Structure 1
Amino acid sequence: MHLFYLPGKNLGEVYRTGEVLQELPADEAGHLRVMRLKAGERLRLTDGLGNFAEAILEDPGPKKFTVRITAITPEDPCSFRLIMAVAPTKNIARFEWFIEKATEFGVDEIVPVWCEHSERTKLRTDRLQKVAVAAMKQSL
């Protein structure tokens, strides 16, 4: 079953309040369009907060996709949190690789740290967020 990311919403709260119809963001809708999923097909959603939802594709419209949430399965919380602090490398591809692998291993939080001899002073957090989301979806 395919996994899609619904950012900015706590799926547990959404389901409890009865908001079972949700519109997927544009980038996730693009993935659905490429996969050619049809109305009535099942898929999974995650909010990145440890909640997973079973959903059915309701409206595969040309510009937006609407899904109906049928069930919520919260992930069992860990007894610990893993936070990594790392200085961004000069080569941004290495830092993106680190973000990807750390996310796949289950690191809860990655904190960039600038040190006295750091050569990179700016990060594109939007790009790093996309890398982390792709790794999260791939590794479930």
Structure 2
Amino acid sequence: MGGKGGMFYYADGIDKVLMLFGTLGCLGDALMSPLTMLILSGILDDYGGGGISFSIDVVNKFQTKGRKLVILNLVTNTCIDSYYAEGICWTRTAERQTSRLRMEYLKSVLRQEVGFFDTQVGSSINFEVISTISGDAQLIQDVMADKAWGRC
């Protein structure tokens, strides 16, 4: 999941669990529409059939279909909740990994010799470095949170 230089290089155990829950939420969200169509198509086929007489067998059959609709409603609500959990998990893991990336960058800057900073005239170079890493870190966070989450 996080090879040398990979996208999830800075992911720790908590991040991997968050990504797992985000992926499970993605799968639940993806299964919502096909499951709805599968159950509703069977129910509509039974209702649309001709020659319905009201016997106890027919009533029991439609009662079973009504239970399936209630179960479908519960599953759909769970899938909607999993969609929100998916977004929260992917966004949170992206924030955590980007924070770790920024700390590693700060550590690498602080390891430089002091003479490097003395040779730079004015503070515009330092500002450019800081704004570049902030922009790049924000871009990485967007890719991890929005793009990976949006592709599910």
Q: TM-score, normalised by structure 1?
A: 0.23
| Higher relative contact order (CA closer than 8 Å, sequence separation 6+) | 2
Looking at secondary structure, tell me which structure has more strand per residue: 1
Looking at secondary structure, tell me which structure has more helix per residue: 2
